Structure 1
Amino acid sequence: MNAPSEIPSKIPTAKKSGGFRHWELLVLLWLAFFLNQADRQIFSVVLPLIRSDLGFTDAELGLIASSLVWTYGLLVPIAGFLGDRFSRRNIIGFCLLFWSVATLFTGLCATLVQFILLRGIATGGGEAFYAPSSNALLGEKYAKSRAFALSIHQTAVYAGIILSGLIAGYIGEHYGWQNAFFLFGGLGIVLAGVIFLRIPKDPPLLAPQKNIKQEVLATAAHIVKKPTVVLLTLAFGCMVFVNVGYLTWMPTFLVDKFGLTLTDAGFSSLFYHHVGAFLGVLIGAKLSDHYALRLPKSRVIVQAAGLFLAAPFILIMSLSTSPLLTYVALFLFGVFRGWYDSNIVASLYEVVSPKIRSSAYGLVLACAFLIGASAPYLLGILKPTLGLSKGLAGLSAVYILGGLFLSLAAWVYFDKDQQKAQHETTDLS
């Protein structure tokens, strides 16, 4: 098989100034990622209202949430390959427009099938195309401050989830759950237009090939030969499993266990955890950037430490009978989860060739989200018998498993795989 054809072009880079122009790309992509996460979280916040209004069972609500993650996982590798072969600006703008329209129309849904089609397949499908292109574009634009730029971008996850919890909960309680979808969908449509106007179109790094299937298989075979990538992917899958399970059911958990209002539950379930994660991701980035200059595997070690240290607080969060203790545990769970998040992309980029970073990240995302997608559905099935407290507590064991995968990668395989990446060419045959 022929290697992907390289296009001899230079990616546009910002001028070496500290002004707004230099950081405009990061600002706009931060806003896009903010809406990516906010749109994804709205459903979980207004879930009790949808259940009451439309009469869905817990399993059906879990199925709707899982359908988005399954769709995301299936489509994100395609997104990664397109991100190496077409304008990333165009991919980001069009996918933002698509998922925002789907979010807006989710407010009109009334049946299970409609929610699965619009909320699960359309929204999840649109969101799948964002991360590979945006992270690759940021990694190239801000090469000298990559971990910092990617970590700032990552903070949009926490801000989007926190504010969507507060805003969607308030709108749902006072104006109906439908209007939460209308608001965030409309904002995304406007931002898509701004991105097309303000971000220059970038040339692709690789020429599109006629046989995309062979390209996918060749790149997959190339990265699967690196045990570090496989272990990073398995650990990522553990994190996604915990994350989507927690995000889907935590607002309902607080409503049912402590009798909070929907607005209070939407805020409390997300605010304390993601403020902690915001701090943790900045701390983790600084730690890894400092030590990685001498010991590149430090990025993976920081991730492993984050998962191990977060696990006990997941257990406390789930089993505590005190709202205050639950919030403290949520915060510390978030701090150490942030350590992990700070190097998701940077760790992978240490062991893959620069020319296939978008493709490789797409494949890693696909596997991780397919591993983790079943969590909302499984917790929904177990809720009537086991209860959410025990179900959420079990997520701590999944974090420990992820930490073990990362420890194995750091101490056994990382050095060899990083050396391979440093000497690789674009020949992926």
Structure 2
Amino acid sequence: MSLGQHSSDSAPLFSSDSEAEAPEEAAGRRGGGEEAASGVSGVRARLIVCILCYINLLNYMDRFTVAGVLPDIENYFQIDDGKSGLLQTVFICSYMVLAPVFGYLGDRYNRKYIMCGGIAFWSVVTLASSFTPQQHFWALLLTRGLVGVGEASYSTIAPTIIADLYVKEKRTSMLSVFYFAIPVGSGLGYIVGSQVSAVAQDWHWALRVTPALGLIAVLLLLFVVREPKRGAVEARAELHQTSWLTDLRALSRNRSFVLSTLGFTAVAFVTGSLALWAPTFLFRAAVFSGQKAPCADEAHCASSESLIFGIITVITGVLGVFSGVQVSRHLRRKTPRADPYVCAAGLLLSAPFLYLAIVFAQGSTAATYVFIFLGETFLSMNWAIVADILLYVVVPTRRSTAEALQIVVSHLLGDAGSPYMIGVLSDSLRRSDSFLWRFRSLQLSLLLCSFVAVVGGAFFLATALFVESDRTRAESHVPAADEPIVVPKSGRSTRVPVSSVLI
């Protein structure tokens, strides 16, 4: 092996080099051009996708465990809806602020080790949050905020690894598998949170499940996952890393990326609001209609709504992601604009069903759950498709930065503020502390979700106008002669014009 090569076990922590298998190690296992180009065998590539899916599932499972026991937390700390909404907001804010940092690092350094450090930190902080005493609600807010640090390290990077393993239809299929973990993990968060709390008769235990599973994830990353070669599977001319400001300028001029990000922001707003408030809203509806008794034990509220909503979230998520990918795949034979059309249809169809679910909550529990099922199914059609749009309209060396920027915008304008906004709006509309107004005020505030879904659908329709040209531009991208690139030298980086490197 030459001095310029790294074996799979010797890639330095801060190296951007891939951990591709040595030629003699992978020669007998390369079944296709993609595996050969990425430097990772077909079997290992599928294992990597499975591991990333497992971690993504844990990511969302932990995120929504709190929502599954929110009535317990409100009763335990004696807090109002505004403060309850802060639990999701502080998490999303830290996640959003640090996403660009990890996006920058993910485009330049070894992605596997970045994810390992982030997941280990996330597991420790999540475990610490389960020991918050009753008099210190601020400590729970602080630890939930720190959880966002670990999750940001993973969410910005994992899709780019899949993009470096597969292309075209295979990439779409693998991304759909990866994004199945979002609704499934979210649903499991509600289910595990509510059921562990019920068994232990203490909501604190609900937060102690995912840290142990996080340790397993770190071990799998360290010993199974290999870093693929960036952009190699796309059979394009060698690309160089450009400066961060150059990346941002290029992304800001990418109309498909900007518009699809705004459309996804609407998805984040709606899902963030429903994720935190739907089980609580359904519980209050049951109390208001006399089907349930109010909370009596400050450590545990007897509620089956989190369990039912979690099951619905799992089923609708799998059904929505699968149907969205299949419809998009079929429509691609007729139009290259299929992806944004399907995303737009999903949001526009979800809006009326979510509206009906909120309106019918006080009159018919069965009708409410049917409308929630339909609304969440259409909403879930977006997940894998939005990620695929980003990956094919952005060049490989800017994808982690693009993922990070999309995370920042979608959370800043979406679910970073929507749970808190819904909570504050609910408090402001409440005329008294009766069961009637606790239910009615939250019901009126949640109607905002249907309006935002329609706005998001309009953004995806606008994306369809530009997606063809932006995809062609990304696939045929060649660095401009005056575009500065980053050249590693002695462990440091310097910016030089392309022309000087060619000379």
Q: Structure 2 vs 1, CA of residues 311 and 374 (structure 1 numbering), >3 Å: closer, same or farther?
A: same
| Separation of aligned partners in 1, 2:411 and 2:240 | 26
Secondary structure of the corresponding residue to residue 16 of structure 1: coil
| Separation of aligned partners in 2, 1:127 and 1:385 | 32
| Separation of aligned partners in 2, 1:326 and 1:34 | 27
Name the structure 2 match of 1:333.
375
Residues 184 and 313 of structure 2 are in contact (CA less than 8 Å); yes or no, is this contact kept in structure 1? Answer: no
| Separation of aligned partners in 2, 1:95 and 1:24 | 21
Equivalent runs, 1:278-297 vs 2, <5 Å: 278-292=318-332, 295-297=335-337
Superposition deviation, residue 295 in structure 1: 3.0
Equivalent runs, 1:59-78 vs 2, <5 Å: 59-78=82-101
Residues 84 and 359 of structure 1 are in contact (CA less than 8 Å); yes or no, is this contact kept in structure 2? Answer: yes
Q: Say which of 35, 46, 56 aligns to 2:69.
A: 46
Superposition deviation, residue 15 in structure 1: 4.1
Q: Say which of 68, 93, 114 aligns to 1:91.
A: 114
Task: Note the alpha carbon deviations across 1:17-46, whole angstroms, 9 max, x for none.
Answer: 998645211111111001100111111111
| Separation of aligned partners in 1, 2:49 and 2:63 | 21
Name the structure 1 match of 2:180.
155
**Runs of 5+ unmatched residues, structure 1:** 1-5
Residue 404 (str. 1) matches residue 458 (str. 2): yes
Name the structure 2 match of 1:124.
148
Task: Note the alpha carbon deviations across 1:256-311, whole angstroms, 9 max, x for none.
Answer: 11135655111222321341121111111122233335633211111111111111
Name the structure 2 match of 1:3.
none
Q: Say which of 242, 245, 260 aligns to 2:273.
A: 245
Q: Structure 2 vs 1, CA of residues 368 and 296 (structure 1 numbering), >3 Å: closer, same or farther?
A: same
Q: Say which of 359, 364, 387 aligns to 1:345.
A: 387
Q: Say which of 417, 440, 462 aligns to 1:374.
A: 417
Superposition deviation, residue 423 in structure 1: 2.3
| Separation of aligned partners in 1, 2:20 and 2:82 | 47
| Separation of aligned partners in 2, 1:70 and 1:364 | 14
Name the structure 2 match of 1:414.
467
Superposition deviation, residue 136 in structure 1: 0.7
Q: Structure 2 vs 1, CA of residues 143 and 376 (structure 1 numbering), >3 Å: closer, same or farther?
A: same
252-261 or 391-400, which moves further after superposition? Answer: 252-261
RMSD: 2.5
| Separation of aligned partners in 1, 2:379 and 2:163 | 22
Superposition deviation, residue 47 in structure 1: 1.3
Superposition deviation, residue 348 in structure 1: 1.4
Residues 344 and 456 of structure 2 are in contact (CA less than 8 Å); yes or no, is this contact kept in structure 1? Answer: yes
| Amino acid across the alignment from 1:99 | W
**Who wins on radius of gyration, i.e. which is larger?**
2
418-427 or 170-179, which moves further after superposition? Answer: 418-427
Secondary structure of the corresponding residue to residue 107 of structure 2: helix
Percent identical pairs in the alignment equals 27
| Separation of aligned partners in 2, 1:15 and 1:255 | 54
Residues 46 and 262 of structure 1 are in contact (CA less than 8 Å); yes or no, is this contact kept in structure 2? Answer: no
Q: Higher relative CO (CA 8 A, sep ≥ 6), structure 1 or 2?
A: 1
Residues 95 and 148 of structure 2 are in contact (CA less than 8 Å); yes or no, is this contact kept in structure 1? Answer: yes
| Separation of aligned partners in 2, 1:22 and 1:218 | 31
Superposition deviation, residue 323 in structure 1: 1.3
| Separation of aligned partners in 1, 2:218 and 2:392 | 31
| Amino acid across the alignment from 1:359 | T
Superposition deviation, residue 151 in structure 1: 0.7
Residues 30 and 42 of structure 2 are in contact (CA less than 8 Å); yes or no, is this contact kept in structure 1? Answer: no
Q: Structure 2 vs 1, CA of residues 204 and 34 (structure 1 numbering), >3 Å: closer, same or farther?
A: same
Q: Structure 2 vs 1, CA of residues 227 and 56 (structure 1 numbering), >3 Å: closer, same or farther?
A: same
> What TM-score do you get using the length of structure 1 for normalisation?
0.91
Q: Structure 2 vs 1, CA of residues 323 and 383 (structure 1 numbering), >3 Å: closer, same or farther?
A: same
Residues 122 and 148 of structure 2 are in contact (CA less than 8 Å); yes or no, is this contact kept in structure 1? Answer: yes
**Runs of 5+ unmatched residues, structure 2:** 1-14, 33-40, 232-237, 293-300, 430-440, 485-503
Q: Say which of 138, 158, 175 aligns to 2:162.
A: 138
| Separation of aligned partners in 1, 2:347 and 2:216 | 37
Name the structure 2 match of 1:424.
477
Alignment: residue pair count: 418
Equivalent runs, 1:254-265 vs 2, <5 Å: 254-259=282-287, 262-265=302-305
Secondary structure of the corresponding residue to residue 269 of structure 2: helix
| Amino acid across the alignment from 1:270 | G
| Separation of aligned partners in 1, 2:398 and 2:19 | 16
Superposition deviation, residue 229 in structure 1: 1.4
Residues 19 and 227 of structure 2 are in contact (CA less than 8 Å); yes or no, is this contact kept in structure 1? Answer: no
Residues 73 and 370 of structure 1 are in contact (CA less than 8 Å); yes or no, is this contact kept in structure 2? Answer: yes
| Amino acid across the alignment from 1:69 | I
264-273 or 16-25, which moves further after superposition? Answer: 16-25
> What TM-score do you get using the length of structure 2 for normalisation?
0.78
Residue 389 (str. 1) matches residue 414 (str. 2): no
| Separation of aligned partners in 2, 1:51 and 1:357 | 40
Residue 16 (str. 1) matches residue 31 (str. 2): yes
| Separation of aligned partners in 1, 2:165 and 2:239 | 20
| Separation of aligned partners in 2, 1:160 and 1:375 | 21
17-26 or 62-71, which moves further after superposition? Answer: 17-26
| Separation of aligned partners in 2, 1:134 and 1:252 | 32
Q: Say which of 264, 274, 278 aligns to 1:236.
A: 264
Q: Say which of 225, 239, 250 aligns to 1:199.
A: 225
Residues 85 and 204 of structure 1 are in contact (CA less than 8 Å); yes or no, is this contact kept in structure 2? Answer: no
